[in-house]
Amino acid sequence: MDLSFIFEHKLILSISAAVLSILYGAFLAYQVLKQPKGDTKMNEIADAISEGASAYMKRQYSVVAVIGVVIFAILYFALGTYSALGFAAGAILSAVAGVAGMAVAVRSNIRTAQAAKTGLPSAFSLAFKGGAVTGLLVAGLALLSVAGFYWVLEQYAHGDLAPLIALGFGGSLISVFARLGGGIFTKSADVGTDMVGKIEKGIPEDDPRNPGVIADLVGDNVGDDAGMAADLFETYVITAVAAMILGNLLFPNNTSILYFPMLIGAVSIVASIVGTWFVKISGNSIMKGLYQGLIVALLVSVGGFWLLTNYVFQTGLGIPSLNLFYCLLIGLGVTIGMVVITEYFTSKKFSPVKTIANASSTGHGTNVIAGLAVSMKATFAPILLIAGAILASYTLAGLYGVAAAAMSMLSLAGIIVAIDAFGPITDNAGGIAEMAGLDKKVRDVTDPLDAVGNTTKAVTKAYAIGSAGLAALVLFASYTQELAKGAKGITVAFSLSDPAVLVGLFIGGALPYLFAALAMEAVGKASVSIVDEVRRQFREIKGLMSGKVKPEYGKAVDIVTKAAIKEMILPAAITLIAPIAVGFLLGAQALGGLLIGSIVTGLFIAISMTTGGAAWDNTKKYIEEGNLGGKGSFAHQAAVTGDTVGDPYKDTAGPAINPMIKVLNIVALLIASFLM
Amino acid sequence: MDLSFIFEHKLILSISAAVLSILYGAFLAYQVLKQPKGDTKMNEIADAISEGASAYMKRQYSVVAVIGVVIFAILYFALGTYSALGFAAGAILSAVAGVAGMAVAVRSNIRTAQAAKTGLPSAFSLAFKGGAVTGLLVAGLALLSVAGFYWVLEQYAHGDLAPLIALGFGGSLISVFARLGGGIFTKSADVGTDMVGKIEKGIPEDDPRNPGVIADLVGDNVGDDAGMAADLFETYVITAVAAMILGNLLFPNNTSILYFPMLIGAVSIVASIVGTWFVKISGNSIMKGLYQGLIVALLVSVGGFWLLTNYVFQTGLGIPSLNLFYCLLIGLGVTIGMVVITEYFTSKKFSPVKTIANASSTGHGTNVIAGLAVSMKATFAPILLIAGAILASYTLAGLYGVAAAAMSMLSLAGIIVAIDAFGPITDNAGGIAEMAGLDKKVRDVTDPLDAVGNTTKAVTKAYAIGSAGLAALVLFASYTQELAKGAKGITVAFSLSDPAVLVGLFIGGALPYLFAALAMEAVGKASVSIVDEVRRQFREIKGLMSGKVKPEYGKAVDIVTKAAIKEMILPAAITLIAPIAVGFLLGAQALGGLLIGSIVTGLFIAISMTTGGAAWDNTKKYIEEGNLGGKGSFAHQAAVTGDTVGDPYKDTAGPAINPMIKVLNIVALLIASFLM
């Protein structure tokens, strides 16, 4: 079988696959939007959520735009027109992926609540379609930005690759802000609203009398949906770009190497679309229904990768086709491994969550100790998995093998995000049902969907951070190759015996700690501001508690918006400035150390926080199911404490580490040519 | 001035200084022991503590002895007689330092309680003398073991240095067990006793009716005194040995280089003894009185180092004397820096503790979030300090400069330990006063002493881990030099672009996470066993709550002893096996990566845990002083939760990381010659 003629059309193929993904996403959006929207009361609430989310996004992107314009100007003067354009394209498309996906999500929530009246299967199908829009947009826009911008460079810039780095930088920058701002928003709204509502006033979650409740629901969208979408978009783009740059540096005379990552993306986009068709509730297991789709996507990818490596992409790199195929399988294997490990550490079925639950029965302190122990322990298996993947893919195909594995892993972002993004939709649907006073059976449909969403959220984060580990290493490899090119023959060894490298390692290791500490603090500070506002409304608005007067939802949204945006600036600024300062003050060696240092501690912090946080969350749910005394018991109170601690862990600090590491690496790559 | 004739007697001088330290310690012990011991009831309690502590130590060392004999045999066959002997000497002297110091401490506590009847100054003076014994023994025995064993090697083994590594290994191994076993004992006894006594039964701390109270007091001695002593002993020995080995590898033709680290130790031992004379309570500030002694010791060391580098040790290393002197100053500077930073993050006077206190007023969860944020943030300044010290000392005098700075830092162990070890003595004195029903004014004397002890404990841990960071790097440098020697000219570069090094970095980074997780879990499990026992006694022993019948203290001690010893095995075993497995399976490059990986994440985990834990502890004390509602308030309950979380952080997992890193490094050094 000779399919290599396909390769003639490699760029058209990649762009077509990307466009297909976007079109199919639009088609799903159309299907969702034509569903019934429920009664007036439901619409009022849904509109409030939608308005709040838009207001937040507008504010966030007005601030980010100012920073973006400054960086655009700097890039224009330092690196030229195409780098500046690439940066703008990456930033804008990253924002579009998040905003468009979220726009569909905030319209799916009410329709899901309405569908839930007729039972689980229809609600599930609708929420999944709504979430799949985000997934398809993320993968489609990411591939489109890479392939499209590369086409521009080929046509107008003699195939110069440097502007691609700026494209990735644009995506990463947006992603840091989206993850931080969205994460601070969602968790401070959540913690602050619950603290006054549940604890001080004793009213249930999502009670319409609570002035913070809309802010809480808005948070699910801006953090868990838009933030996550921006994050995966940038990871995808960065991985593809890094693989292209590294391929070009390693095989400078082989132009076809540039198309390989894009073709991997094209294969997996088709696989992801096929995968979504197989997501169907089977029996009563929602999780099984989701995994069904993932497994189909994996299998289609395996087939596609086989054809790609054996019959389409015949390159003469000196790497046997079969070895390249195995590298792609390793990427898929790491994805499966991360899913299984995360499931083990966060699911109510296994011993980690049960251990935390048992520790809850002796108090708040022992719950937290057990949770922290689980969170630290949860890093070991993923790290071994990533380490094994690096060793195996390197053995098979050298540095390029690692890049191929990373790209293969990331290429599945479409289906992975789809599986995740239905979570916030069902979470919101439950909130709307509660606030609109719908029948209890509606919540009985949305609650289990929400619970599954919690696990898939943890899975996506583990996937994102695992792939980020590989992607960051590929970026680091590009950085060293770039320096070597600049040094013109002088070997650039980052030796651990070099004190500059060691010092860089230490400083790099310190950055995720500082960043995470600031993010945790930010949630603390922003929560206080919303607690004050919610308390004020309960105090000043007469008839609020009796339900006669509606609270001023908008004010609470406004306050948490301002707080989140204010708090996201400092950690993001540190991320931008640190590599530049270390690079120019301590040199290229120290900067190389910094990159690896940040990857090492960053991976551990991110995995421990996202997994630990989800384990705490599910411990609370496990006890609420009636175990160890159930709701209201002493163990339950302790579990609520653990969940509160886990919130900024898993939804603010932990996931923001992922784009943070990438920004450090990509800034280093941008300034590499100035350092030699 | 020509003092170089002194150098003729360098070994005699070093050994004399070591013996002086031990003799002066014995003299202080004699002074303490001749003080009055109080009434029969006090003696009963003190005897129970002393017996419990001895029983624990016996059990711990019977288990460790079995492991020690196995390793002794392995070393004997693999590396020869002198390595086996060195290992035995290091292990035995490390144990002696801990046991002898603790023996004096458990006899000082009752005398301190008695002296407290006459006021603060006499109680302080006695407790400080009791603690200084441990400090002087640690420094004296450590220097004696290095200088004495080197003398043996010079006389009988043609000056072979390899057995010195085994000496360090012996010390490190004991230290891992002492820190882990002691740390698990002290915190599980503490947490378990409080959980039933304070929370379930509502009786005060140290109430004689609580069956776990003696175990709690025993814990202070076996963990905070004996464990800490073994830890500092090994850090001292390892640093001296690493400096000697590295000096020999870097300057193979200069034999006098071997004596330099010992002479640094000799200078600082004299400085430490002089320092102890200046520890006097001034006004009402206990802290100031302690720092007075430390400052004098620092100044005397500076003078001594000046004489040493300029007039005594003239080596012809190609390093100007002044540069070497500056390196020694850098070591002292890091000590001062670590003290100041730790004080800032843990003292009730500054914003970190106040921030956690404010967060406590909104609940358990926010207290923990704020505490975790502080613990992570607290790593940044120490890491920059250590990184700066590495860069500066390397610039001044190359790799050997880093070794000199590390040795200078460690040489002050005598005075640092003295300042710390009075803490558990006053803690115990307070317990005895409470249990024997002494006048309230006795506790009014011991309580503030205990509070200061908490801060100095945190300072010592920061000092130990900071110096461990430097020492481990020196060990790593020795490892690379050793490999280079074995490779006979082939350069051994640990390049970050080498996937084996990267994989090693990841695995090495994972080890402290796994180790700390297991240590935290161990405290959880051991606490449950003591909770069960205390509950059983309250249930089964009639007349216990009314105070008519005495509880069975010994049984509680016995149970927590068994639990602690059982739980310390697995983490210690991982530490021993991991470097051997990685070295032989993945090679010398991966093992090098592992060492650095463990130093990077280990430093962050250890600093964040020890500092964060102390900050939580002092937050509780700050609130108990009447702030934010004082004792019994909602904020106080939250602060108690934070303190419970901080306990295993600061007294079990955090400090045990220090010897753990060193064992990894020294095992690597031991097997280095088999890897090439």
pLDDT, tens digit, 9 for 90 and up, residues A232-258? 999 999 999 999 999 998 888 887 889
Percentage of chain B beyond pLDDT 70 is 98
In this complex, is the C-beta atom of B193 within 8 Å of any C-beta atom belonging to chain A? no
- How many angstroms separate the most distant Cα atoms in chain B? 78
Which of B184, B362, B391 to probe by mutation at the A interface, max A CB count within 10 Å? Answer: B362
Nearest to B520 among A373, A506, A600 (CB): A373
What per-residue confidence (pLDDT) applies to A579? 97
Q: Are residues A513 and B379, on separate chains, in Cβ contact within 8 Å? A: yes
Chain B residues inside the 8 Å CB shell of A600: 505-506, 509, 597, 600-601
pLDDT tens, position by position, A280-312: 887 778 888 999 999 999 999 999 999 999 888
The yes-or-no verdict on residue B118 having pLDDT over 80 is yes
Chain A residues inside the 8 Å CB shell of B596: 496, 502, 505
pLDDT tens, position by position, A97-120: 989 989 999 999 999 999 999 989
Element (H, E) at B317: none
Lowest mean pLDDT among A267-271, A319-323, B301-305: A319-323
Quickly state the pLDDT bin for B632 (edges 50, 70, 90). confident
Highest mean pLDDT among A429-443, A475-489, B568-582: B568-582
Q: Residue B604: closest CA among chain A residues belongs to which residue?
A: A510
* Strand, helix or coil for residue A285: strand
What per-residue confidence (pLDDT) applies to A183? 94
Lowest mean pLDDT among A381-390, A476-485, B627-636: A476-485
What per-residue confidence (pLDDT) applies to A81? 94
Lowest mean pLDDT among A573-577, B38-42, B193-197: B193-197
Q: Are residues A604 and B524, on separate chains, in Cβ contact within 8 Å? A: no
Six token digits for residue B436: 């024997």
Six token digits for residue A585: 């003050």
Chain B residues inside the 8 Å CB shell of A384: 507, 510
Helix axes B40-79, B413-435, angle to 10 degrees: 140
Task: Give B422-490 as a 3 state SS string.
Answer: HHHHHHHHHHHHHHCCCCHHHHHHHHHHHHHHHHHHHHHHHHHHHHHHHHHHHHHHHHHHHHHHHHCCC
* Residue contacts between A and B (CB atoms, under 8 Å): 233
The yes-or-no verdict on residue A490 having pLDDT over 60 is no
What per-residue confidence (pLDDT) applies to B487? 66
In this complex, is the C-beta atom of A398 within 8 Å of any C-beta atom belonging to chain B? no
Which of A194, A250, A376 to probe by mutation at the B interface, max B CB count within 10 Å? Answer: A376
Chain A residues inside the 8 Å CB shell of B394: 499
Contact A471, A235 (CB under 8 A): yes
The yes-or-no verdict on residue A491 having pLDDT over 60 is no
C-alpha B458/C-alpha B655 separation (Å) is 10
Quickly state the pLDDT bin for B316 (edges 50, 70, 90). confident
C-alpha A32/C-alpha A26 separation (Å) is 10
| Helices of type H across B308-350 | 321-346
Nearest to B521 among A373, A384, A480 (CB): A373
Nearest to A499 among B391, B506, B604 (CB): B391
Six token digits for residue B549: 């019948």
CA A570-A575-A579 angle, 5° bins: 135
Contact A420, A364 (CB under 8 A): no
In this complex, is the C-beta atom of B606 within 8 Å of any C-beta atom belonging to chain A? no
Six token digits for residue A431: 């909130």
Quickly state the pLDDT bin for A315 (edges 50, 70, 90). low
The yes-or-no verdict on residue B428 having pLDDT over 70 is yes
DSSP B253: T
What per-residue confidence (pLDDT) applies to A319? 85
What would the mean pLDDT of A192-209 be, rounded to a whole number? 84
Six token digits for residue B566: 């059982």
Quickly state the pLDDT bin for B415 (edges 50, 70, 90). very high
The yes-or-no verdict on residue A489 having pLDDT over 70 is no
Contact B341, B381 (CB under 8 A): yes
C-alpha B555/C-alpha B533 separation (Å) is 8
Six token digits for residue B462: 């920061």
The yes-or-no verdict on residue B638 having pLDDT over 60 is yes
In this complex, is the C-beta atom of A601 within 8 Å of any C-beta atom belonging to chain B? yes
* Strand, helix or coil for residue B282: strand
Min CA distance, A180 vs chain B (Å)? 15
The residue that leads in pLDDT, A200 or B534, is B534
Say if residue A632 is exposed, middle or buried (CB neighbours under 10 Å; 0-12, 13-18, 19+).
Answer: exposed
| Helices of type H across A625-651 | 634-648
Contact A129, A32 (CB under 8 A): yes
C-alpha B576/C-alpha B579 separation (Å) is 7
What would the mean pLDDT of B236-261 be, rounded to a whole number? 90
- Dihedral angle of Cα B169, B172, B174, B176, to the nearest 10 degrees: -140
Six token digits for residue A284: 């009563």
pLDDT tens, position by position, A522-565: 998 898 889 889 999 999 998 888 888 889 998 999 999 999 99
The yes-or-no verdict on residue B598 having pLDDT over 90 is yes
The yes-or-no verdict on residue B525 having pLDDT over 60 is yes
Q: Are residues A496 and B518, on separate chains, in Cβ contact within 8 Å? A: no
The yes-or-no verdict on residue B545 having pLDDT over 60 is yes
Min CA distance, B330 vs chain A (Å)? 16
Of the candidates A576, A575, A551, A562, the one whose C-alpha atom is nearest the C-alpha of residue A525 is: A562
A363: phi > 0 → left, psi -120 to 50 → alpha, else beta; which?
A: left
Nearest to A195 among B363, B476, B644 (CB): B363
C-alpha B673/C-alpha B583 separation (Å) is 11
In this complex, is the C-beta atom of A199 within 8 Å of any C-beta atom belonging to chain B? yes
Average pLDDT score, chain B: 91
Q: Are residues A521 and B370, on separate chains, in Cβ contact within 8 Å? A: yes
The CA R_g of chain B, rounded to the nearest whole Å, is 24
Q: What is the ipTM of this complex?
A: 0.94
Contact B404, B324 (CB under 8 A): yes
Chain A residues inside the 8 Å CB shell of B199: 363
C-alpha B248/C-alpha B255 separation (Å) is 7
Partners of A495 in the β-ladder:
B495
The yes-or-no verdict on residue A647 having pLDDT over 90 is yes
What per-residue confidence (pLDDT) applies to B663? 94
Quickly state the pLDDT bin for A458 (edges 50, 70, 90). confident
Q: Are residues B369 and A608, on separate chains, in Cβ contact within 8 Å? A: no
In this complex, is the C-beta atom of A80 within 8 Å of any C-beta atom belonging to chain B? no
The yes-or-no verdict on residue A663 having pLDDT over 90 is yes
Nearest to B496 among A384, A494, A509 (CB): A494
Min CA distance, B82 vs chain A (Å)? 30
C-alpha A442/C-alpha B513 separation (Å) is 43
The pair phi, psi for residue A495, each rounded to 5°, is -85, 135
Quickly state the pLDDT bin for B340 (edges 50, 70, 90). very high
In this complex, is the C-beta atom of B513 within 8 Å of any C-beta atom belonging to chain A? yes
In this complex, is the C-beta atom of B601 within 8 Å of any C-beta atom belonging to chain A? yes
Quickly state the pLDDT bin for A577 (edges 50, 70, 90). very high
Nearest to A376 among B480, B516, B524 (CB): B516
The pair phi, psi for residue B362, each rounded to 5°, is -100, 0
Min CA distance, B277 vs chain A (Å)? 38
What per-residue confidence (pLDDT) applies to B315? 64
- Dihedral angle of Cα B581, B584, B586, B590, to the nearest 10 degrees: 80
Q: Residue B200: closest CA among chain A residues belongs to which residue?
A: A362
Which A positions 449-508 lie with beta carbon below 8 A of chain B? 473, 476-477, 480, 493-497, 499-503, 505-507
| Helices of type H across A209-350 | 213-219, 228-250, 260-277, 286-307, 321-346
Helix axes A162-194, A81-116, angle to 10 degrees: 40
C-alpha B370/C-alpha B365 separation (Å) is 9
pLDDT tens, position by position, B206-232: 888 999 999 999 998 898 889 999 999
C-alpha B11/C-alpha B17 separation (Å) is 10
C-alpha A28/C-alpha A121 separation (Å) is 17
The yes-or-no verdict on residue B8 having pLDDT over 80 is no
Which of A496, A616, A644 to probe by mutation at the B interface, max B CB count within 10 Å? Answer: A496
Quickly state the pLDDT bin for B490 (edges 50, 70, 90). low
In this complex, is the C-beta atom of B529 within 8 Å of any C-beta atom belonging to chain A? no
Q: How many residues does chain A have?
A: 676
Q: Are residues B517 and A374, on separate chains, in Cβ contact within 8 Å? A: yes
What would the mean pLDDT of B424-429 be, rounded to a whole number? 90
Contact B236, B413 (CB under 8 A): yes
Contact A527, A616 (CB under 8 A): no
Chain B residues inside the 8 Å CB shell of A390: 499, 502-503, 506
Of the candidates B169, B146, B158, B166, the one whose C-alpha atom is nearest the C-alpha of residue B261 is: B146
In this complex, is the C-beta atom of A272 within 8 Å of any C-beta atom belonging to chain B? no
What per-residue confidence (pLDDT) applies to B423? 87
Percentage of chain A beyond pLDDT 90 is 69
The pair phi, psi for residue B489, each rounded to 5°, is 100, -30
Q: Residue A195: closest CA among chain B residues belongs to which residue?
A: B362
Q: What is the amino acid identity at position B467?
A: S
The CA R_g of chain A, rounded to the nearest whole Å, is 24
| Helices of type H across A308-363 | 321-346, 351-360
Chain B residues inside the 8 Å CB shell of A370: 520-521, 524
What would the mean pLDDT of B13-25 be, rounded to a whole number? 96
C-alpha A609/C-alpha A660 separation (Å) is 15
Contact B138, B415 (CB under 8 A): no
Percentage of chain B beyond pLDDT 90 is 69
Q: Are residues B480 and A494, on separate chains, in Cβ contact within 8 Å? A: no
What would the mean pLDDT of B17-22 be, rounded to a whole number? 96
Lowest mean pLDDT among A317-321, A376-380, A527-531, B236-240: A317-321
* Strand, helix or coil for residue B495: strand
Chain A residues inside the 8 Å CB shell of B365: 191, 640-645
Q: Residue A196: closest CA among chain B residues belongs to which residue?
A: B362
Contact B170, B666 (CB under 8 A): no
